[in-house]
Amino acid sequence: MTPPTIIQAACACLLFVGCFAMWIRVILRYRRHGDVIEIEPRTEPAWCLADLFVVLSVLLLCQWTGAQLVRLAGITLEGSLSELAPRERILFLLIDSGSKLVTVAVSLGIIRLRSGFSLATLGITTHRLTYDLRLGACTFLLVAPLALLVQVVTTLFHESSHPLAEILKQEPDAGFILMGTFSAVITAPIAEEYAFRGLLQGLFERFSVGKYTASDPILGMSLKPNVDAEDNAPEPTESEIAAKKNFQPPLWPVIASSILFALVHYNHGPDWIALIVFALGLGYVTRCTGRLLPAITAHMMLNTWSIIMLVLKLVSE
């Protein structure tokens, strides 16, 4: 066995030992407290269906702008990523990463102006930074090894295929590795968790409520009753007020958003099946906390792990 192969095996053993220890801890906590993680009080999500179109529109505009700037520089990015020259591949990833990060920032600003809610209400907050980072790491240890086991089983029937991995196997390039690492470890977790655990899952949670008191889930327009109806309406009880502040949606939004997240990665071979398992864990912690940082942290750790394993494999070969 080569040193990189030994390192791979050692890292895999540590990961599964950590997973086993974490599941023991979770089981003991559940027996003592009756829950897996702390379920925090939060309000109904502020997302609406119109926000989905805002995000898609901003993303398309950013990608088009990036493509036009590159074209003005005399470079044409045509064909698949594997058909491009090394310099063009790096440029393609740079445009893709920049478009996604700008989309997150711009669309968040638009949604905040529309809804009037703070970033914290939209799940973007660091007021429990240390806890969220630890929760994200624990989620990774709990769910990632299970997803990796599913991946191993599915690849017995069909080979896994990731565009970045395939290019690195054919033509290892330091610049492409660095840009690909940034795209996978930074850009993808932020953009995808914002889109799927924030926007999409939050939108499904809005529809799961059944009745809407603040704004409608389609256009996000305020639902204010007329003055007479408001004057004649009975005072809300303490339980009704507490229910608004302690919003706990059903589990189906977690399942629905996880399946859609996995299907987006359908071109990676059978990996999308394993991603359902991982996404369910990310969706659950987001449902319990109402914040995106734990899911982003776990996603970053999974992608970092995947890149480290890929580089070690390439070195050993």
Q: Is residue 175 one of the residues assigned to a domain?
A: yes
- In a domain? residue 238: no
What confidence category does residue 71 fall into, taking pLDDT thresholds of 50, 70 and 90? confident
pTM for the full predicted model: 0.89
Residue-number span of the structural domain to which 92 is assigned: 3-228+245-316
Residues in the chain: 317
- Tally of structural domains, the chain: 1
Identify the CA nearest to 277 among candidates 140, 72, 74.
140
Confirm whether 235 is domain-assigned: no
pLDDT in tens, 4-61: 788 889 999 999 999 999 999 999 988 888 788 888 888 777 788 888 999 999 999 9
HSE-CB for 143 with a 13 A CA cutoff: 25
pLDDT in tens, 217-248: 677 665 554 434 444 445 444 444 444 556 77
- C-alpha dihedral sign at 129, 134, 140, 142: negative
Query: pLDDT digit string (tens) for 121-139?
Result: 888 988 899 999 999 999 9
As a whole number of angstroms, the distance between CA 265 and CA 178 comes to 22
Tell me whether residue 140 is in a domain. Answer: yes
Q: Give a yes or no: residue 233 inside a domain.
A: no
In 3-state terms the chain splits into helix, strand, coil percentages (rounded to 5) of 75, 0, 25
User: In this structure, which amino acid lies at residue 27?
Assistant: I
Q: What is the pLDDT of residue 176?
A: 83
Whether residue 234 lies inside any domain: the answer is no
Name the phi and psi angles at 125, rounded to 5. Answer: -160, 155
Lookup result for tokens 């702008």: 65
pLDDT at 165 over 60: yes
pLDDT of residue 130: 95
